[in-house]
Amino acid sequence: MFELKELAGCLPAYKFIGKSNPTINDLAMDNREVKKGDLFFCIEGFTVDGHDFAAKAVEAGAAAIVAERELPVNVPMIIVRDSKRAMAIMAAHFYRLPSSAMHMIGVTGTNGKTTTTHLIHRILSDYAMETSIIGTMYMKYKNKEIKVKNTTPDSLTLQKAFSDMATEGVEAVTMEVSSHALELGRVHGVDFNVGVFTNLTQDHLDYHKTMDNYARAKGLLFSQLGNGYKENHQNIAVLNIDDPYFDLIETMTAVPIITYGMDEKADFRATEVNIHESGTDFQLCMGNRIYPVQLKMTGRFSVYNALAAAAASYASGVPIQTIQESLAAIQGVAGRFEKVDTDASVHVIVDYAHTPDSLENVLETVREFAKGKVSVVVGCGGDRDRTKRPKMAAIAEKLSDYVYLTSDNPRSEDPEEILNEMKSGMAHNNYSMILSRKEAIFEAVKNAEEDEVILIAGKGHETYQIIGDQTFDFDDRLVAKEALKERY
Ligand SMILES: CC(=O)N[C@H]1[C@@H](OP(=O)(O)OP(=O)(O)OC[C@H]2O[C@@H](n3ccc(=O)[nH]c3=O)[C@H](O)[C@@H]2O)O[C@H](CO)[C@@H](O)[C@@H]1O[C@H](C)C(=O)N[C@@H](C)C(=O)N[C@H](CCC(=O)O)C(=O)O
Ligand SMILES: Nc1ncnc2c1ncn2[C@@H]1O[C@H](COP(=O)(O)OP(=O)(O)OP(=O)(O)O)[C@@H](O)[C@H]1O
Ligand SMILES: N[C@H](CCC[C@H](N)C(=O)O)C(=O)O
Ligand SMILES: [Mg+2]
């Protein structure tokens, strides 16, 4: 609990309107969740404007309002330039800066965030650091697994979770930081110790419009490093030196940098990379010290994820021997290059590739080891970057023998229209368009030849499909199993 004026004191600038100084019991950003004594934040969203719900919030018991303009309500008001960022800062203070009490690792980049955070989580946990994870799949700490709506949750959810984590004895947090979160201030005021950059390729241009804007949004994580509230500790940026955006990201941070990659100049460098069907091995070179690393995850991109995780863990104080052992032990991450268990001679791999770059990487890896033909079942999400649709289809066509274009999560869009946009990127006729994802998977399995590999791309670990405003149960792995069972 805080008095309103004391809490507002953490803001860099604001205008106070009102005579009283109520006690604030809790924070809320949705009028439907307001309780008596809450501070209500009016957030201008993409769908509606939270300022329109201020009166309802007061009716529900809000003791005060934070807004970007004066509103006709009879409770004290704090007027700020940006209520999203004010909310993030006030939430951090309301929960008494919980992120400053823990070792915070933020991972950003287009691809590999979920995988890298899981690798870091495993390494830190093996080193007996009580570690939590926040990202696309869930928020997990101690024995709690909490569902999340966003890869990086809004600042209220986030700061409240940090507070609970710190209370429960969590020592380190490894979290995905999406470009949306950075741009929308969801992690404003989070005191990161280590920032990790995986890579930058096309995605989310519906939102960011240009690659430059997208890169700048990602860069915010690194410019924010070192702006926290902790004293006497050094923050570190862990950057992929092989990525074309390395130079830009490097200029955006003032903290020391550890680089990783295959480039000769990399501080954490992989050499003698050997990629095989069920894993990868390489020599990890740190100056003149060389450590062999074995991974049970295949593909060149997995080497990058492992290097990023190794560097971030090392920067967090974990000895290299633990890092080697943990990397060798981890089996993989759900829905990432996950093989569907079967005795059949047809192989099915489920993978979360939903960008042109990830699809290309994964298909190249599949092709390298496929003894027979390669087919792909793939779609593109609705209400997302439309310009990636023809590109993903072109990549699927180029790197496989047959493509089944099908629905991903069409959301509010016409599923057929999405597939037509994909089709416009294709030159040959080795494809079918099957709107129902289940039918497409069944067809792919039915038609597969001996030793064929079917890649089901785009939904990975997801256990649902969003069509219109309805969410249905759907799991590529289970559907593929059913299809295999029907055929064999
Ligand atoms: C585009 C976007 O980021 N949208 C996010 C945004 O929703 P919005 O702007 O539509 O919110 P809104 O419905 O207009 O509401 C505005 C305000 O009014 C309030 N409200 C609303 C209705 C009402 O009756 N009463 C009320 O008080 C809301 O609580 C809110 O404070 O704020 C919501 C609450 O924080 C988010 O859940 C939502 O994410 C949606 C679900 C989403 O799909 N976001 C994607 C694009 C996203 O953020 N993705 C990244 C991952 C990308 C990656 O992995 O690469 C992520 O971090 O998840
Ligand atoms: N380092 C990488 N470079 C390129 N592609 C990758 C890399 N790591 C994983 N991938 C591919 O990208 C897919 C998504 O990986 P992951 O879930 O780890 O990424 P993410 O950044 O968390 O994605 P999202 O933005 O959806 O949260 C994987 O299924 C794989 O196909
Ligand atoms: N974090 C990504 C996930 C995309 C997954 C894909 N299955 C889709 O629904 O488009 C996004 O929200 O754009
Ligand atoms: Mg993710």
The ipTM (two decimal places) reads 0.97
Average pLDDT over residues 428-448: 96
Closest CA to ligand 1's atom 15: 45
Nearest ligand, CA of residue 354?
Answer: 3
Q: Taking the domains of the chain in order of start, what are their residue ranges?
A: 2-94, 98-329, 338-487
Query: Residues lining ligand 1, judged by CB closer than 6 Å?
Result: 29-32, 43, 45-48, 50, 53, 136, 149-152, 154, 178, 180-181
Q: Which residues line ligand 2 (CB under 6 A)?
A: 111-115, 136, 151, 176, 198-199, 301, 304-305, 336, 351-353, 357-358, 361-362, 460
Counting ligands in written order, which one lies closest to the CA of residue 242? 2
Confidence band for 99, pLDDT divided at 50, 70 and 90: very high
414 annotated binding-site participant: no
**What number does CATH give the domain 338-487?**
3.90.190.20
Ligand 3 atom, smallest distance to 151 CA: 1
Q: Is 98-329 the same fold as 2-94?
A: no
pLDDT confidence tier of residue 453, bands split at 50, 70 and 90: very high
| Ligand 4: centre distance to CA 112 (Å) | 7
Q: What is the mean pLDDT of residues 322-344?
A: 95
Protein residue with its CA nearest to atom 23 in ligand 2: 111
Q: Is 109 annotated as a binding residue?
A: yes
HEC readout, the chain: CEEHHHHHCCCCCCEEECCCCCEECEEECCHHHCCCCEEEECCECCCCEHHHHHHHHHHCCCCEEEECCCCCCCCCEEECCCHHHHHHHHHHHHCCCHHHHCEEEEEECCCCHHHHHHHHHHHHHHCCCCEEEECCCCEEECCEEECCCCCCCCHHHHHHHHHHHHHCCCCEEEEECCHHHHHCCCCCCCCCCEEEECCCCCCCHHHHCCHHHHHHHHHHHHHHCCCCCCCCCCCEEEEECCCCCHHHHHHCCCCCEEEEECCCCCCEEEEEEEEECCEEEEEEEECCEEEEEEECCCCHHHHHHHHHHHHHHHHCCCCHHHHHHHHHHCCCCCCCCEECCCCCCCEEEEECCCCHHHHHHHHHHHHHHCCCCEEEEECCCCCCCCCHHHHHHHHHHHCCCEEEECCCCCECCCHHHHHHHHHCCCCCCCEEECCCHHHHHHHHHHHCCCCCEEEEECCCCCCEEEECCEEEECCHHHHHHHHHHHHC
- Report residue 230's pLDDT band, with 50, 70 and 90 as the boundaries: low
Q: What is the pLDDT of residue 204?
A: 86
Over residues 329-347, mean pLDDT: 94
Is 152 annotated among the ligand-binding residues? Answer: yes
Q: To 10 degrees, what angle do helices 113-126 and 300-315 make?
A: 50
pLDDT in tens, 148-195: 999 999 999 999 999 999 999 999 999 999 999 999 999 999 999 999
The atom of ligand 3 lying closest to the CA of 460 is 7
Ligand 3 site-directed mutation target among 354, 472, 475, most atoms within 8 Å of CB = 354
Asked whether residue 114 is marked as a ligand-binding residue, the answer is yes
Sign of CA dihedral 155, 157, 163, 169: negative
Ligand 1, atom nearest to 40 Cα: 27
372 assigned ligand-binding residue:
no
Q: What is the residue-averaged pLDDT of the chain?
A: 96
pLDDT at 229 over 60: no
Q: Give the pLDDT confidence of 402-432 residue by residue, as tens digits.
A: 999 999 999 999 999 999 999 999 998 899 9
Q: How confident is the model at residue 454 (pLDDT cuts 50, 70, 90)?
A: very high
One of 3.40.1190.10, 2.40.50.100, 3.40.50.300, 1.10.10.10 is the CATH number of 98-329, namely 3.40.1190.10
Closest CA to ligand 3's atom 10: 381
Could you tell me the pLDDT band of residue 344, with boundaries at 50, 70 and 90? confident
Interval 285-300 mean pLDDT = 96
The reply to whether the predicted model has a pTM over 0.80 is yes
* Ligand nearest the Cα atom of residue 179: 1
Domain 2-94 fold: 3.40.1390
Return the number of other C-beta atoms located less than 10 Å from residue 205's C-beta. 16
How confident is the model at residue 428, as a pLDDT? Answer: 85
User: Which residues are 276's β-sheet partners?
Assistant: 279
User: Is residue 288 part of an annotated ligand binding site?
Assistant: no
**Closest ligand 3 atom to Cα of 384:** 13
CA–CA distances in Å: residue 167 to residues 154, 230, 446:
20, 18, 53
Residue 66 CB contacts under 8 Å (≥ 6 apart), including other chains: 39, 40, 41, 42, 77, 78, 80, 83, 86, 87, 90
What local confidence, expressed as pLDDT, does residue 292 receive? 98
Res 228: pLDDT: 59
Task: Say if residue 117 carries a ligand binding annotation.
Answer: no
Which residue minimizes the CA distance to atom 9 of ligand 2? 112
Question: Which ligand 3 atom sits nearest the alpha carbon of residue 458?
Answer: 7
| pLDDT tens-digit series, residues 192-204 | 999 999 999 888 8
